[in-house]
Amino acid sequence: MIVIGLDLAGPSNHKDTVLTVFQQNKDHLIFQKMISNISDEEILYEIIDLSRLDEVVIGIDAPLSYQDGGGDRMSDKQLRKFIVSLGMKPGSIMPPTFTRMVYLTLRGIKLTREIEKLHTNFPVSIVEVHPGAAMGSRVSEKKLEYVLTYKQNLSSRKYLKNWFEQQNVIGLPDGVENESHSIDSCAAALAAWHWADQSLKPQWIYTAQPPLHPYDYCC
């Protein structure tokens, strides 16, 4: 199984979009490559190439649906409650139609529908993920501060780079800690792996509610 972690930014912000590829080897995810500043077209080509080799699982850090009428989806409400119970801040869960989120939601919905139309050799599956929650729900309570500060703090990202090794996500290159989008991409892959591998399980999951919410959401 090939696992992709995809940290999306808005449609005009390729610079902050990071795709990271891992290969599952028994109970490990082994780093293969990381691509930053990537467009939708390049993402699709990458998925096509990888799907020639093996099953592909993609964890996408972006809303992949929105609530009809606006506001929170039920999944957003439940995930916000879950992360607050861990000691995390509720503000990291924003409604998909919120002003700061709506273009990211647009890109997430558009991209997933394009992925579904691809002709691939092996199956491709998609899950919506929340990288911060994926990390916050797996670190010890004493180390939660690293998750709360990693977007601003290099030393926190250095800690998390090493922490991934403890989660059997191995081989991350030097420099992955230089900015938070790379860390988010790796955490997206971690959540997607635990969702897809039947011997593992997510820390939290809201199952798909098609047709309006067609993808599982997990961390």
What residue has token string 């090493």? Answer: 162
DSSP β-ladder status, 18-25 and 2-7: antiparallel
129 close to 60: Cβ distance less than 8 angstroms: yes
pLDDT surpasses 80 at 49: yes
Q: What is the dihedral of CA 204, 38, 22, 181, to 10 degrees?
A: -50
pLDDT surpasses 90 at 14: no
DSSP helix/strand/coil, 146: helix
* Cα–Cα distance, 4 to 193 (Å, whole number): 9
The whole-chain average pLDDT of the chain stands at 96
* Cα–Cα distance, 20 to 43 (Å, whole number): 11
- Residues of the chain with pLDDT > 70, as a percent, come to 100
Can you give the pLDDT at residue 95?
97
* Cα–Cα distance, 186 to 18 (Å, whole number): 9
Can you give the pLDDT at residue 208?
98
Mean pLDDT over 97-109 rounds to 94
**What is Dmax (Cα atoms) for the chain?**
46
* Cα–Cα distance, 199 to 216 (Å, whole number): 18
> Which residues, other chains included, contact 22 with Cβ-Cβ below 8 Å and sequence gap of 6+?
2, 3, 4, 5, 29, 30, 31, 32, 169, 189, 193
Under the banding of pLDDT at 50, 70 and 90, the label for residue 56 is very high
Under the banding of pLDDT at 50, 70 and 90, the label for residue 100 is confident
Phi-psi region of 195 (alpha: psi -120 to 50; beta: other; left: phi over 0): alpha
Under the banding of pLDDT at 50, 70 and 90, the label for residue 163 is very high
Can you give the pLDDT at residue 13?
76
- C-alpha 2: how far from its chain's center? 14
Can you give the pLDDT at residue 146?
97
* Cα–Cα distance, 24 to 20 (Å, whole number): 13
Mean pLDDT over 40-45 rounds to 96
CA distances from 81 to 5, 84, 145 (A): 24, 5, 18
Under the banding of pLDDT at 50, 70 and 90, the label for residue 180 is very high
What is the domain count for the chain?
A: 1
pLDDT surpasses 80 at 8: yes
Domain that holds residue 205: 2-218
Mean pLDDT over 78-84 rounds to 98
Mean pLDDT over 34-49 rounds to 96
Mean pLDDT over 79-108 rounds to 95
Can you give the pLDDT at residue 119?
92
What are residue 29's DSSP bridge partners? 24, 169
